[in-house]
Structure 1
Amino acid sequence: MARAPLPIGTWGRIHTRVEKTDEKGRPTSHRAQAKYRDHDGKTRPVSAFGKTKTAAETNLLKKLKDRARASQAGELTAMHRIRQAIEIWEEKFAELVAGGQRSPSSLDTYRRSIRNHVLPALGEVRIGEATTPRIDSVISEIKKRAGAPTARTSRSIISGVMGLAVRYGAITVNPVREVDRIEHDTKKLPRALTAEEVQLLRKHLRTDERAVRADLPDLVTFMLGTGVRIGEALAVLWSQADLDTGKVKITHTVVRITGEGLLRKTTKSRAGQRELGLPDWTLAILRARFAAGARLDEPIFADTLGGFRDPSHVRRSLREALAPVGSTARRDLGLSLRAARRESAMTRKDVAQALDWPLTKIELIETGRTKVDRELATTLLRAYNIRDDEAATLLAQVDQAAAPAPSDTLAWITSHAFRKTTATVLDNDGQTARQIADHLGQARVSMTQDTYLDRKSPNPSATQALQRAFEDPDLP
């Protein structure tokens, strides 16, 4: 009976022999050799050398593993580790990015999730061992530690990797298909600024030194007048704005890519390429900026050197400008709670595990980006084993940080709220969802309706329509 061939990408028994000797007949070089079955199905001898038998065998094993890794692009098996499949999947996604079919920011997000969550949990698991229960358990743990959005991103990555494994013949069914849906808290309803809030906001930004230094008043006005994303607003060049006709072309967005810095790239979909008209109050601001001195090849909202601004930095400046007066006390409280945690020799991960909280919750508390009440603070202080006298001091800080401030009414506003406000104004004016989606640069109308339109306003025409449809004059 014929011997079964070696599986592709594997090798047989290693044989070692003396290759050279010195004058006294002592071995000085060894050759290690094994048969390796390449991706094309042919079995070839592979050799490596070393001063000792062990060194030769070690060098050969490294050579064989490198050869197997190089041939992975042709095929995966159930014995390959998921880490190896991830490398192939990531390379293919990077090719799509290079071809303009995927966004570089998406690749950046995926790489971060792979590095922080997917590889630590599944990297050394073999493809054939990646069952639905195991993957379901991993995704549940990621949700518990990092939250539902990160878990959804990780699930998408794992699904793509396992789908690739199916196409490459390593498995027959994608095990992620049957993984339980990622449930999360009810999504917040879209909220738009009222006319009064818009006036209060613009007045506040004009009188706030931090906002003026960050050039926020004009930028916010531009975003309210156009409904563009913050990255799109920062990518607009003066050459794209026609101040005579009152129109502006939106073609690019600014993103930060790890290892590459700020990048001005085309919008992620064809729907994002659009020309928008400018309201008179927005146009007046642009004309004033242009009259103060501008170059056509520079961004309208440039940094101090005339270059592009980082969207993340602008968002942070907006948060700081809109933070309530009490936010200084809130940040101080966060620093105090961080110091208490460190004195107890606990990491953020330790606290999250002990209290069964997402890791991000600890970070938000310690950076002063979320309000802390007495109940939450008491829970933390118990976990840190803080003495009663120290606890009393910290709880007094909690009360001070929770005190209301006049600008609290603006604290909820984010850069995306301007976009939702523009959409809601157009909706109230009677424009169709398709028209609003085109203005916002969105391909899917359902996204516009579900995420961007504030639906709190009553609809009297609905009452009138129902009355006309079902009114029966013969009934009392």
Structure 2
Amino acid sequence: MPRKPLPLGSWGKIRTYVAHTNGKGKADSYRAMAGYRDFDGHVRQVEAYGKTSSAAENNLQTKLKERSQLGRSGMLTSLTRFSVAAEMYLTKLTTMVKDDKRSPGTLYTYQQQLATNVIPRIGEVRLGELTTPLLDKVVTAIKEEVGAASAKTCKSVISGILALAVRHGAISSNPVRELESIEATPKNAPRALSEDERQQWFSMLNEDDRAIQADVPDLSMFLLATGVRIAESLAVLWTQVNFERREVEITSQINRVIGAGLVRRRTKSRAGVRVLTLPNWAMAMLQRRFAAGVHLNGPVFPDSLGGFRDPNNVRKDLRLARQPIGSEIRRKLGHELRDARRAAGLLQTDVAQQLGWSKNRLSLMETARVRVGSEDAERLFNVYRVARSERARLMDLVAHAGATSTADLLAWVTSHTFRKTTATLLDEAGQSPRQVADQLGQSRPSMTQDVYFGRRAANPEAASALDEVMPGVAENEKHGVNHGSSGSGS
């Protein structure tokens, strides 16, 4: 029976020999030898020398270990910490982003979830110690403490890291495969802006100087006219606008890449590359902007320096736009809240920490961009130690400032709302799901229907068809005729 071969990167029995003797015939040098199986599968003799037999053997041991480690450099083992494997995985993912094979958004999300939720829990665990029960506890804890959406992302990134470990031979199988799927709470049904809401939105924007300065009205109009993603709208160049044919070419999107800044890269998928015909009102808006003077190779919606805008900053501008400075009484309340805080000698960060709020939430209250509820007002007054007599006056102001405004009614609007509105309008106009998907730059019409169409009666003709099942019943019901039994069932 043939002898089992040495594992890769290992060696056999070490043998020592006298390598040299002095004039008196006494050994003054020894040679240690062993067969070492290299990572190409070949066994080679490796030797080392020393003044004594043990020294030669120790020198050979050191040489063999260094050779094995050099051959395994860049490889994961069962003793490698999960955090090290995660770094290797992120390095590969970064390379894929540079090669345009993965989205920068994916890399950013994975980095955030690893740093925040995964590494603190299992970063020091060895790959060989990661089992399905352990990972099940980890993912479940993330779901309970953070949320189902984060848990699903963490499960995906852990699976990717351990798949890399499997390819390196560090573990034999991926323990994530046996975890249960994570059921997230269903999202609200897609909601599109109605005609009245569209008019309210643009009326509100045109009265907000800050929104106008941030280009929110024109950008909202472009999003509504095209149904493009916000990152796609910011990547459109003037050279891609054809005024004669009323067309705009969508080929790219703007992403922020860590270490590289804002990058204009290809669209999310091949289906995202498309040429869209614009309605007249959108062309009129673009012609007005073009007439004001532009850089032909520059973006249609540039930043203050003429360069590309950060999608995250534009989303923030949209959030502020749906929270415009409120009525005179709400502005007065904001000033009162600010003065009370300052009188207490507190900074916004101090108050936010005490109440467990974000600093932005308090800032929006003081600038009259959100409605202040009575409970929140009471908590603020407790922190500010407002006197009872003064508190009664302020609470009366809170009650009057709480009247619902247009901004309150449109607080649900996001950048994706325009995309959903465009899809719903096209659907209601009789466009097929395939046509709408092409407009939105999606490859699957089924996703367009499920995610982007506002809900309506699925089959309006069904009621007419079912009316034929029991003819005359509706008329009898109008006259109070009861078709059922007068007694209870037995």
- Smaller-chain TM-score range? 0.7 to 0.9
1:247 to partner: Cα distance: 0.6
1:157-214 deviation line (CA, Å, top 9, x unaligned): 0011112222332223321122233333331111000111111212221221111111
Alpha carbons of 1:98 and 1:44: their partners in 2 closer, same or farther (altered >3 Å)? farther
Q: In structure 2, what is the equivalent of residue 90 of structure 1?
A: 90
Q: Is 1:408 aligned with 2:408?
A: yes
What aligned pairs does 1:422-437 form with structure 2 within 5 A after superposition? 422-437=422-437
Contact 1:238 1:300 in 2 (8 A): yes
Q: In structure 2, what is the equivalent of residue 216 of structure 1?
A: 216
Task: State the alpha-carbon separation in 1 of the partners of residues 88 and 219 from structure 2.
Answer: 42
1:149 to partner: Cα distance: 2.3
Q: In structure 1, what is the equivalent of residue 167 of structure 2?
A: 167
2:435 alignment partner AA: Q
Task: State the alpha-carbon separation in 2 of the partners of residues 331 and 82 from structure 1.
Answer: 51
Q: In structure 2, what is the equivalent of residue 25 of structure 1?
A: none
So what's the TM-score if we normalise by structure 2? 0.72
1:447 alignment partner AA: M
2:173 alignment partner AA: V
Q: In structure 2, what is the equivalent of residue 255 of structure 1?
A: 255
1:29-54 deviation line (CA, Å, top 9, x unaligned): xxxxxx9987557797899xxxxxxx
So what's the TM-score if we normalise by structure 1? 0.74
Give the match's secondary structure for 1:191: coil
Q: In structure 2, what is the equivalent of residue 226 of structure 1?
A: 226
1:335-373 deviation line (CA, Å, top 9, x unaligned): 979x6997799789xx6xxxxxxxxx8677566598775
Contact 1:166 1:173 in 2 (8 A): yes
Q: In structure 1, what is the equivalent of residue 320 of structure 2?
A: 320
What aligned pairs does 1:49-128 form with structure 2 within 5 A after superposition? 68=69, 71-74=72-75, 76-128=76-128
Contact 1:38 1:71 in 2 (8 A): no
Contact 1:166 1:172 in 2 (8 A): yes
Task: State the alpha-carbon separation in 1 of the partners of residues 309 and 471 from structure 2.
Answer: 63
Contact 2:231 2:311 in 1 (8 A): yes
**Larger Rg, first or second structure (1 or 2):** 2
Task: State the alpha-carbon separation in 2 of the partners of residues 210 and 385 from structure 1.
Answer: 31
Task: State the alpha-carbon separation in 1 of the partners of residues 145 and 80 from structure 2.
Answer: 28
1:404 to partner: Cα distance: 2.6
What aligned pairs does 1:44-443 form with structure 2 within 5 A after superposition? 68=69, 71-74=72-75, 76-323=76-323, 325=326, 396=395, 402-443=402-443
Alpha carbons of 1:214 and 1:364: their partners in 2 closer, same or farther (altered >3 Å)? closer
2:427 alignment partner AA: D
1:295 to partner: Cα distance: 2.5
Give the match's secondary structure for 2:265: strand
1:288-343 deviation line (CA, Å, top 9, x unaligned): 11122122201111122211111111111121121152887689979979x69977
Range moving further from structure 2, 311-320 or 229-238:
311-320
1:121 to partner: Cα distance: 1.7
1:429 alignment partner AA: A
Task: State the alpha-carbon separation in 2 of the partners of residues 410 and 174 from structure 1.
Answer: 46
Contact 2:349 2:359 in 1 (8 A): no
Contact 1:330 1:371 in 2 (8 A): no
Q: Which runs of 5+ in 2 are unaligned?
A: 14-34, 50-58, 477-490
Give the match's secondary structure for 1:249: strand
Alpha carbons of 1:231 and 1:460: their partners in 2 closer, same or farther (altered >3 Å)? same
1:155 alignment partner AA: K
Alpha carbons of 1:89 and 1:238: their partners in 2 closer, same or farther (altered >3 Å)? same
Contact 1:420 1:452 in 2 (8 A): yes
Percentage of matched positions with identical amino acids? 42
Range moving further from structure 2, 223-232 or 37-46:
37-46
1:405 to partner: Cα distance: 2.6
Range moving further from structure 2, 174-183 or 64-73:
64-73
Task: State the alpha-carbon separation in 1 of the partners of residues 70 and 113 from structure 2.
Answer: 23
Contact 2:8 2:39 in 1 (8 A): no
Q: In structure 2, what is the equivalent of residue 51 of structure 1?
A: none
Contact 2:100 2:265 in 1 (8 A): no
Give the match's secondary structure for 1:275: strand
Alpha carbons of 1:122 and 1:272: their partners in 2 closer, same or farther (altered >3 Å)? same
Contact 1:235 1:299 in 2 (8 A): yes
Contact 1:249 1:274 in 2 (8 A): yes
Task: State the alpha-carbon separation in 1 of the partners of residues 336 and 179 from structure 2.
Answer: 42
Aligned residue pair count: 426
Alpha carbons of 1:258 and 1:122: their partners in 2 closer, same or farther (altered >3 Å)? same
1:88 to partner: Cα distance: 2.7
Task: State the alpha-carbon separation in 2 of the partners of residues 201 and 315 from structure 1.
Answer: 16
Task: State the alpha-carbon separation in 2 of the partners of residues 236 and 40 from structure 1.
Answer: 51
Task: State the alpha-carbon separation in 2 of the partners of residues 399 and 314 from structure 1.
Answer: 33
Task: State the alpha-carbon separation in 1 of the partners of residues 447 and 201 from structure 2.
Answer: 27
Contact 1:331 1:367 in 2 (8 A): no
1:388 to partner: Cα distance: 10
Give the match's secondary structure for 1:235: coil
Task: State the alpha-carbon separation in 2 of the partners of residues 256 and 290 from structure 1.
Answer: 27
1:224 to partner: Cα distance: 0.5
Range moving further from structure 2, 230-239 or 425-434:
425-434
Task: State the alpha-carbon separation in 2 of the partners of residues 71 and 80 from structure 1.
Answer: 12
Give the match's secondary structure for 1:430: coil
1:230-250 deviation line (CA, Å, top 9, x unaligned): 111111001001000001100
1:455 to partner: Cα distance: 0.8
Contact 1:211 1:321 in 2 (8 A): yes
Alpha carbons of 1:241 and 1:113: their partners in 2 closer, same or farther (altered >3 Å)? same
2:291 alignment partner AA: A
Task: State the alpha-carbon separation in 2 of the partners of residues 9 and 84 from structure 1.
Answer: 23
Task: State the alpha-carbon separation in 1 of the partners of residues 362 and 73 from structure 2.
Answer: 45
2:123 alignment partner AA: G
Contact 1:333 1:398 in 2 (8 A): no
